[in-house]
């Protein structure tokens, strides 16, 4: 029985965050209804799929109704998960694009800064050391002339 309810609730969330044939008003209307059954699904999976679908929309900011839908849906996804998760998902699916920057400027999400890997930090230290060494090599002949 639980599997059937889970499938039904998942379908309800898929409908609420569907990028076709639904608008912001319907998201506002249906989200509170389906959200009462949140315990039957993984909110992270719902958010992941929804943001992935939004990233696939062409001309996201070309039409007012699309823009309003996505902003409303993102607000509901933040309520479903949290602001940090949605900020990360939008960054991962949109990349550092104009659309991503617009979401940040409009205050819909926060800027996401991916954590640096250990390898990346090592490379940055090596690069910094190389720059120091190169600057020493450049100034060394001048210093040698003084003595």
Helix (H) or strand (E) holding 127: helix 118-146
Residues 142 and 84 in one domain: no
Residues 92 and 108 in one domain: yes
Residues 103 and 55 in one domain: yes
**pLDDT tens-digit profile, the chain (147 residues):** 888 889 988 899 998 998 887 789 999 999 999 999 899 999 999 999 999 999 998 888 888 888 999 999 999 999 999 999 999 999 999 998 999 999 999 999 999 988 876 666 666 666 666 666 555 454 555 545 544
Contacts of 78 (CB under 8 A, 6+ apart): 86, 109
Residues 105 and 44 in one domain: yes
- Tens of pLDDT, residue by residue over 89-112, are 999 999 989 999 999 999 999 999
Residues 48 and 106 in one domain: yes
Number of domains in the chain: 2
- Tens of pLDDT, residue by residue over 73-87, are 999 999 999 999 999
Q: Which of 78, 20, 76 is nearest to 53 (CA)?
A: 20
Q: Which domain holds residue 62?
A: 2-114
End-to-end CA distance of the chain: 88
CB 25 within 8 A of CB 36: no
Residues 122 and 105 in one domain: no
Tell me how far apart the 2 most distant CA atoms of the chain are, in Å. Answer: 88
């Amino acid at each position: 029985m639980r599997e059937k309810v889970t499938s039904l609730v998942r379908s309800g969330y898929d409908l609420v965050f569907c990028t076709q044939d639904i608008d912001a008003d319907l998201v506002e209307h249906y989200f509170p209804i389906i959200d009462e059954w949140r315990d039957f699904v993984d909110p992270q999976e719902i958010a992941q799929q929804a943001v992935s679908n939004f990233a696939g929309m062409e001309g996201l900011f070309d039409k007012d109704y699309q823009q309003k839908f996505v902003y409303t849906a993102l607000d509901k996804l933040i309520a479903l998960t949290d602001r940090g998760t949605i900020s990360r998902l939008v960054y991962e699916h949109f990349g550092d694009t104009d659309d991503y920057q617009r979401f940040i400027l409009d205050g819909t999400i926060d800027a996401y800064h991916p954590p640096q890997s250990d390898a990346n930090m090592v490379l940055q230290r090596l690069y910094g050391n190389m720059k120091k060494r190169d600057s020493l090599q450049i100034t060394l002949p001048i210093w040698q002339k003084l003595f």
